[in-house]
Chain A
């Protein structure tokens, strides 16, 4: 009898383990390679040229003129979405289709901006946002890990402000990422 009970318990446990991931969706969307502080650590303001940056990071997604020079922007995205429907657990035993869904989406949108002088020397560099990598768990009731300082920095507008200073343009290599 004890042996039989143990077998039933094992079967129930196995069934629970199998049912645990029921109704799970994990989705990830990425746009270009995400850049982190370690990827741009080689940039020394006042010394590094845009050519050197392009050689390591590839061509920026946009180049625009500002009042103090040229702003090159690298954009990237790392979206993570996860969803679990606990209602699936009850599906085999109920005539209705119950749903109890937890889901969470982390957008992870960021950009890396470089302000260059007219000779293409990097004057300033900054990430537009300082988001930590978005989580991959569907629990929606937990606070984001962005610090208040980072939130303030992100909401205070573009990282680079500029002034006008026209000049020449230097040659660049043609790298591939």
Chain B
């Protein structure tokens, strides 16, 4: 009896999951939290930043200082394809890191956000 119920449940799941699609795309390398934590304000030099994080994606001059910007994009798409009624949702979030260096090439400030941590596959396009 239990086996029969299990088979029925499995069959239902297989039938329901037939019209599903999961896709994912990323741009840029993962910005490792360890690397960010290793950067010390007033101590870490430009060369050390290069070693830890690689070349920046953008270099912005700011009041005579250099700002290194690193970013990464993550996109997750979920589709529910019911042949006659299809729902799709694509969510994209970015991780951004700014390293501000003073005129001597020493790190003055670091600001970062990891938005992609909260990124999930979603199908339902309505609501928030």
Give which listed residue, B63, B71, B93, contacts A166 with CB less than 8 A. B63
CB-CB contacts below 8 Å: A127-145 with B:
136
Interface residues of B (CB under 8 A from A): 36, 41, 58, 60-65, 67, 69, 71, 84-94, 96-98, 100, 108-115, 117-118, 125-126
Among residues of B, the one whose C-beta sits closest to the C-beta of A65 is B62
* Chain A count of residues within 8 A CB distance of the other chain: 39
Within 8 A of B (CB), among A115-166: 118, 136, 166
User: DSSP majority for the B interface?
Assistant: strand
A31 lies within 8 A of chain B by Cβ: yes
Q: Tell me how far the C-beta of A151 lies from the nearest C-beta in chain B, rounded to whole angstroms.
A: 26
If A30-B90, A54-B111 touch, whether A22 touches B63 (CB-CB below 8 Å) is: no
From known contacts A63-B60, A65-B63, infer whether A177 and B108 are also in contact, taking CB-CB under 8 Å: no
**Complex contacts, A88 vs chain B, CB 8 Å:** 84
What CA separation (Å) do A166 and B62 show in the bound complex?
9
Q: Are B85 and A169 in contact (CB under 8 A)?
A: no
- Bound complex: CA A84 to CA B36 (Å): 48
A window 51-94: CB within 8 A of B: 54, 58-65, 70, 77, 80, 88
Are A29 and B92 neighbours in the complex by a CB distance under 8 Å? Answer: yes
In the assembled complex, how far is the CB of residue A128 from the closest CB belonging to chain B, in whole angstroms?
17
A136 to B63, CA, bound (A): 45
Contact A59–B86 (Cβ < 8 Å): no
B86 to chain A: closest residue by CB: A25
Given contacts A22-B84, A63-B69, A88-B84, contact A30 B98 (CB under 8 A): no
Least CB distance from B89 to A in Å reads 5
Does A176 count as interface, using CB distance less than 8 angstroms? yes
Tell me if A7 is interfacial: C-beta within 8 Å of chain B: no
Question: Assuming A59-B98, A70-B62, what are 4 further A-B pairs, CB within 8 angstroms?
Answer: A26-B125, A28-B125, A62-B69, A88-B84
B61 CB contacts on chain A under 8 angstroms: 65
Is A26 in contact with B86, judged by CB distance below 8 angstroms?
A: yes
CB < 8 Å: which of A28, A61, A64 contacts B94? A61
B62 CB → nearest A CB, Å: 5
Known: A21-B85, A63-B67. A174 touches B112 (CB 8 A): yes
Which residue from B60, B85, B96, B108 sits with its C-beta under 8 Å from A59? B96
Name B110's contact: one of A24, A30, A70, A174 (CB within 8 Å).
Answer: A174
